[in-house]
Amino acid sequence: MDILYNIFIDPFVQMGNAPDFLLQVLWSGFVGGTLYSLIALGFVLIFKASGVFNFAQGIMVVFAALTLVGLYNLGLPAWLALIATIGVMALLAIGVERVVLRKLVNQPDIILFMATIGLTYFLIGLGESIFGGEPKKMITEELGLPSGSTSFEPFGGLVIIEHLDVAAVVMAIVLVTGLAIFFNKTRIGRALRAVADDHQAALSVGISLNQIWAIVWFAAGIVALATGIMWGAKSDVSFALQIVALKALPVLIIGGFTSIPGAIIGGLIIGFGEKLFEIYWGSLLGSGVEGWFAYVIALIFLLFRPQGLFGEKIIERI
């Protein structure tokens, strides 16, 4: 009987007794979810263009953030370091297209996936040899990102809103909206969808596969930079950041690998879900449920809707 009470009654009693804390949890879930969406977006862009899960997206986050901090530490002003980092990500995109992807046109997806694993280890080695293994401080203030917090006292309690979190949410919304418009309303967006459907067919109608891939990898690089700045500001910039990117996998399973709105909704489901579950039900399972909760949700989706909420249902003839 106790167990039923602890599962079905007590969490809601807690929510009712401390509504300010519930608001804090929901805000935290919203911020977390937005950041997950941002990470997932990088994966979606590349998956849409090449049908491959880009294993290197996590290390691209680290590489972009380290480049930014490294250039700033070399003496460049923050704004110039930011522009130069965007340039580096553009060069990386062109390099990946020229050296890796161009040779693999029309190869099975698994070959492209393996290539991204190879790229991951290359970037880890390159990053470590250039920047070293020590964590770096993100240049939050220098980039003009806000610090500090604002406290509210709803229901006689306390809710703390970090200004940096607000900036993260705004940045994510602007990026997601911008990219959604770019890829849905422009010729490049339509070309991208054609490339995703069939490389050879896209080539036959005159779409430059090389150009599309370079553009998409560059866009994923920009997303990686934004992700690196926001996550780096929350902790530090180190190679451990690449692990955070793994959280995108359940987001993609829920939202669908090819859908930008799916990445947003999936991220928010995970963000809200894991915070609420950890805080109100986590103690029943010994805490630390956040580490696996997202994957359980993803597994449930795989059972009932394997293509995700907004993914394309693929029917193949056998």
Partner 1 sequence: MKKLLMTGVALATLAGAALTTAQMAQAEDSLYVPSLSYRTGPFASGGVPIANGYADYLNMLNERDGGIGGVKVVVEECETGYNAQKGVECYESTKGKGALVYNPYSTGITLQLIPKAPVDKIPVLSMGYGLSAVAVGEKFPWTFNYPTSYWGQMTAILKHIDANGGLKGKKIGYIYLDAGYGTEPIPLLDKLATDMGFTVAKFPVGVKEMQNQGSQWLNVRKERPDWMIMWGWGAMNATAVKEAAKIKFPLDKFIGNWWAGSHADMRAVGEEGKGYTAANFSGVGKDFPAVQDVIKYVVDAGKSQIDNKDHVGDVLYNRGLFNAVIVAEAIKVAQEKTGKKVITGEDMRMGLENFDLSEARLKELGLEGFGAPIKGSCADHEGGGAVYLMQWDGSDWKKLTDPIVPMQDIVRPLLEQAADDYLKDKPNWETQKCS
Q: What are the residues binding partner 1 (CB under 8 A)? A: 21, 24-25, 28, 31-32, 124, 128, 132-138, 149, 160, 162, 231, 234-241, 243-244, 246-247, 274-275, 278-279, 282, 287-288, 290-291
Dihedral sign from CA coordinates of 235, 241, 246, 251: positive
Helix (H/G/I), strand (E/B), else coil: 108:
coil
In whole angstroms, the minimum distance from the beta carbon of 291 to partner 1 comes to 4
The residue (of 108 and 288) whose beta carbon lies closer to partner 1 is: 288
CA contacts within 13 A on the Cβ side of 316: 3
Shortest separation between residue 48's beta carbon and partner 1, angstroms: 26
CB-wise, 102 or 137, nearer to partner 1?
A: 137
Report residue 66 as tokens.
């380290």
What number of CA atoms fall less than 13 Å from residue 125's CA on the CB side? 6
Q: 90-94 long-range contacts, Cβ below 8 Å, gap at least 24? A: 90/218, 90/221, 92/60, 92/63, 92/217, 92/221, 93/214, 93/215, 93/216, 93/217, 93/218, 93/220, 93/221, 94/214, 94/218
Nearer to partner 1, 51 or 273 (CB): 273
Task: Identify the three-state secondary structure at position 9.
Answer: helix
Q: In this complex, which beta carbon is closest to partner 1, that of residue 149 or of residue 177?
A: 149
CB-nearer residue toward partner 1: 53 or 239: 239
Q: How far is the CB of 174 from partner 1 (least distance, A)?
A: 22
The two structure tokens encoding residue 125: 């080695």
Helix H or strand E segment including 159: strand 159-162
Between 137 and 185, CB nearer to partner 1: 137
What is the residue whose two structure tokens read 């935290």? 28
Angle subtended at Cα 278 by Cα 274 and Cα 281, rounded to the nearest 5 degrees: 120
Give the nearest distance from C-beta 217 to partner 1 in angstroms: 25
Residues 17, 185: contact at Cβ < 8 Å?
no
Neighbouring residues of 281: CB distance < 8 A, sequence distance ≥ 6: 7, 11, 289
* Separation between Cα atoms, residue 181 and residue 152, nearest integer Å: 35
